[in-house]
Structure 1
């Protein structure tokens, strides 16, 4: 499956995470192409949205697509606020404001909704600012798990 992106690469998203977190995105040791693995095989979701007033998704890895039930093309037209139900959007918006202030948030959990309105939980999320080398904010990215306590041994 081709990367789901809008001129955005998983490498750019990962580089921003590494800069803020001080470590790369989680991957098992010995992977020869970490970026391909993050897009195609990671057992957690990675998403990004742009910096518009009502941001749309600009990237989703395969795991994120399976969670939200959108096709690669569909997700690029989805406003990211629609990933949460109307009642959960204020909590999501408050968390995103903390990301703007602090650059990164860890341990975020909460309900989300897929394309069909079905609810699912996300756990242990990290959300971070996407910045250019010049410091210009071009979006925010997130990673999350869909199982509360189940992680690979390399995590």
Structure 2
């Protein structure tokens, strides 16, 4: 659907490292296979994350957090291009009746660092509903220990 923009590649490489390092910090696992075996870093890691078969997305620290990253799998699932996704408040990826539950969940993630096995209903830009299963959601924390947002990854979903 969309392509990762070529502008801001440095920021994308930096964000990819933040995603992968934070995931490993909380879970002890690599976000994508082989990333910590010298295959990561720079555009190699950015490309691995962007082309990964699982959904990977994140939002920032705004009062109403806006999505700031979505890989190709996320773009396809939410039926958006890069520009649409990265200008969408994170809460709008869930249906209104699911948003209160989603907010409570993200409060738990903030308190504990990460949560595995999250399930919930989401909605694409065209109104297509899907159920996500076994998602891992984690806090993004940089090398200085500063909170930079939250991210999620999952492989399993089904349209409803």
Q: Normalising by the residue count of structure 2, what TM-score does the alignment of the two structures yield?
A: 0.82
Higher helix proportion (structure 1 or 2)? 2
- Work out whether residues 4 and 60 of structure 1, in 8 Å CA contact, stay in contact via their aligned partners in 2: no
Is the partner of 1:77 in helix, strand or coil?
coil
Moved over 6 A (4+): 28-31
Alignment pair present for 1:36 and 2:51: no
| CA distance, structure 2, for counterparts of residue 116 and residue 31 of structure 1 | 40
Deviation track 1:25-47 (CA, whole Å, cap 9, x = no partner) reads 1427999545412212x221000
Contact kept? 2:16, 2:45, Cα under 8 Å = no
- Distance in 2 (CA, whole Å) between partners of 1:20 and 1:97 is 16
Which residue of structure 1 lines up, in the alignment, with residue 17 of structure 2?
11
**Cα RMSD after superposing both structures:** 2.4
Query: How do 1:1-155 residues align onto structure 2 when only pairs under 5 Å count?
Result: 1-2=3-4, 7-8=11-12, 9-27=15-33, 33-40=44-51, 42-147=52-157
Please give the TM-score of this superposition, normalised by the length of structure 1.
Answer: 0.85
Distance 1:5 1:138 in 2: 21
Q: Please give the per-residue CA displacement for 1:111-141, whole angstroms capped at 9, x wherever unaligned.
A: 1000012101111100000112221111100
**Which runs of no fewer than 5 residues in structure 2 stay unpaired?**
none
Structure 1 stretch displaced more, 9-18 or 104-113 = 9-18
SS of equivalent to 1:96: helix
CA 1:107 to 1:39, structure 2 compared with 1: closer, same or farther past 3 Å?
same
SS in 2 for 1:2: coil
Q: Does the aligned pair in 2 maintain the 1:27–1:38 contact within 8 Å? A: no
SS in 1 for 2:49: helix
